[in-house]
Amino acid sequence: MTALSPARRRLALLALALGGFGIGATEFVAMGLLPDLARDLLPGLSERDPAGAVAHAGWLISAYALGVVVGAPVFAVLSVRLPRKTLLLLLMAVLAGGTVASAVLPSFGLVLLARFVAALPHGAYFGTAALVAGRLMGPGHQGKGIAFVLSGLTLANVVGVPVITRIGQLAGWRAAYLVVAGLFVLTLVAITLAVPRQPAPAGASIRGELRVFRLPQLWLMMGVGAIGFGGFFAVYTYIAQVVVVEARLPVSAVPWVLAVFGLGMVGGNLLGGWAADRNLRRTILLGYPVFLAAMVAMALFGGSPVGVFACTFAVGTGNMVLIPGVQARLIVVSGEAQLLGAALVHSALNVANSLGAALGGAVIAAGYGYLAPSWVGVGLGVLGLALAVASFAHEDRRRATAADNSGVGNSPEHRDAGRTPVDLTVRTAEPVAAAPSDR
């Protein structure tokens, strides 16, 4: 087997990250184009009740989130025997087709369905790409692989979403989705040319993948994602109102605050990937208090012009420091069902999106102001940290019991998988060479 050159490895990783960039764009660009979507797809309602039409158009965002929640486990389970590169190409083709359909279908109901379909590959793509990236980077670098793939999504929030939103404002929302579809087609070509062939997992089965749902650890870590990250979305969803109402800045400042949010996410993602490879347990258990501190700062100081910029950067950083570690942890606790574990984190994050937005809206509607969702985020983050502690404590008890009963507590099967994900590529059924190979 011929080892990949450093240049080829970088091109393969960039191809995977480009897919993440496109997914980040297709997920978030609708938020800036909701008034345009409402006017075009709901003209009667828009004339009678513009605000109601925009709220109704928000179902397009909800449909996408639901598609992610449903699609991540379904694609991961049904495609378990496919070679990883083949699966990546299939997922990207569905993303491109669903996005083109979103751009050309004439009615609100059909566009709603297209957004659901376009979201189905979201979680499975990130999960598969994370596993492939980890394999390309070699043992001990799974966290960096996850972070590299997620870097496309975080960069989309800094560059892609503002630019494509502006295109949609000037040329129509349909043009914006066609641009996103073009990104997916470009990714399809890039993966075809740059990513080496990945062997099909040996001995994988649908029944084997589904057995992972019996594991308490899986549900604990899903809870960490679904509850613990809800606070980020509680803040992100209402950040425009924080900027205008609480910080008393002009509407034109909102894109700049969002860009700072995105920059924090980029930096946090890179730091989180590096930290997860060094010590996964420490990254999660120490990262959560940092994230909580950022949420408290947002609640206390986000109402000033300087504070809103500084605190959104801190919240974005704290959130993304945790995500590579949580995804790596889900892969670890999933055992041989690694693709399912890698994909499920995105289902959990979209549950967090819905939960955070709903609870944040509830406290705003109760009259507590636009900074109140930050306190909601603190409460959700405390619950997430408690679930993470429970997960590691459960693991320690099982390891101690195994050591007492069978004397194999130090074997590879029973060692503390929470310290570092260095052995993730070893656990897969795929053969692993000393260096990634171009087969």
pLDDT in tens, 309-363: 999 999 999 998 998 888 888 878 877 777 777 778 788 888 888 788 778 878 8
Note the pLDDT of residue 382: 94
Identity of the highest mean pLDDT range in 66-75, 371-380, 422-431: 371-380
Note the pLDDT of residue 55: 66
Question: What top-level class would CATH report for the domain 205-419?
Answer: mainly alpha
Note the pLDDT of residue 431: 35
Note the pLDDT of residue 118: 93
Report pLDDT digits (tens) over 145-173.
777 777 888 888 788 887 888 888 889 89
HEC profile of the chain: CCECCHHHHHHHHHHHHHHHHHHHHHHHHHHHHHHHHHHHHCHHHHHHCHHHHHHHHCHHHHHHHHHHHHHHHHHHHHCCCCCHHHHHHHHHHHHHHHHHHHHHCCCHHHHHHHHHHHHCCHHHHHHHHHHHHHHHHCCCCHHHHHHHHHHHHHHHHHHHHHHHHHHHHHHCHHHHHHHHHHHHHHHHHHHHHHCCCCCCCCCCCHHHHHHHHHCHHHHHHHHHHHHHCHHHHHHHHCHHHHHHHHCCCCHHHHHHHHHHHHHHHHHHHHHHHHHHHHCHHHHHHHHHHHHHHHHHHHHHHCCCHHHHHHHHHHHHHHHHHHHHHHHHHHHHHCCCCHHHHHHHHHHHHHHHHHHHHHHHHHHHHCCCCCCHHHHHHHHHHHHHHHHHHHHHHHHHHHHHHHHHHHCCCCCCCCCCCCCCCCCHHHHCCCCCCCCCECC
Note the pLDDT of residue 348: 87
CATH 1.20.1250.20 in the chain, residue ranges:
8-200, 205-419
Question: What top-level class would CATH report for the domain 8-200?
Answer: mainly alpha
